[in-house]
Amino acid sequence: MWSFIVALSWMVLHVLLVSCTEGQRIDSPSKSCLDHLKSGATKNGYYSIIDQSGSSLTVYCDFESEPGSAWTLVISWSLENNNLPAFRSTSLTDDAPVNEKTPNWIVYRQSKKAMDLIKSQSSHWRATCSFNKVKIDYRDYVRGKVADFDITTYLGNGQCKTIEYVNIRGHVGYRTTVGFFSEKKCFHAAHRQPTWWMPIQCCKRSAT
């Protein structure tokens, strides 16, 4: 989920959700980054979508890092904001918005309602670091299918969950399982070291 969900490193952490285009054009008001992609948007940036109530919501859309996909930023913070409750001590199951109307890389978390809206239109989630500086760093990266593992509803202590790909400082896994920890006070998929995070061992390799 980190710009959002898995503690990967100590830079800006981001979690994004994605939908993949099927090619049809959307001419009605956009309800997602995917709608903007289908309507011809190609550049990363801030876009307006319509939420469940018909109100306008500003989101950050990434169309460039993985062509054919529309990623939406749902949470992001920098090292200096690591100890804020919304990032340090609140799981993704809770509503703890920060700057929800102004997406940014330094201190941002969508409301639970907005996350649920984006998730309802998404197939995957992704967590990475320093996207605003280096775009995609596949050495600090984890991606999973929402259908396999919904990070926004998970509460558990070390349960093994299927992910598509993980690479944390060269520790790589493809279509494997990783132990995730999520309590009301935190969410991570790692074993904490003194100054940074390392992934815990994969529990098993799932069938391809």
Instruction: Count CB-CB contacts under 10 A for residue 173.
Output: 18
When pLDDT is averaged across residues 76-90 and rounded to a whole number, the result is 87
The pLDDT value given to residue 135? 72
Q: pLDDT band for position 172 (50/70/90)? A: confident
Say which residue, 208 or 106, is predicted with more confidence: 106
Residue ranges and CATH numbers for the domains of the chain are 13-149 (3.90.215)
- Would the pLDDT of 10 be above 70? no
When pLDDT is averaged across residues 175-184 and rounded to a whole number, the result is 80
- Would the pLDDT of 188 be above 80? no
What are the residues whose beta carbons fall under 8 Å from the beta carbon of 3, sequence distance 6 or more? 12, 13, 14, 15, 16, 73, 74, 75, 76, 77, 105, 127, 128, 129, 131
The pLDDT value given to residue 17? 58
- Pick from 186, 58, 68: which is nearest to 110 by CA? 58
Name which of 35-39, 112-116, 188-192, 198-202 the model is least confident about: 198-202
Average pLDDT of the chain to the nearest whole number: 76
When pLDDT is averaged across residues 38-62 and rounded to a whole number, the result is 92
- Would the pLDDT of 18 be above 90? no
Span 58-78, pLDDT tens digits: 999 999 988 888 899 999 988
- Pick from 123, 86, 67, 64: which is nearest to 3 by CA? 86
Say which residue, 114 or 207, is predicted with more confidence: 114
Say which residue, 88 or 197, is predicted with more confidence: 88
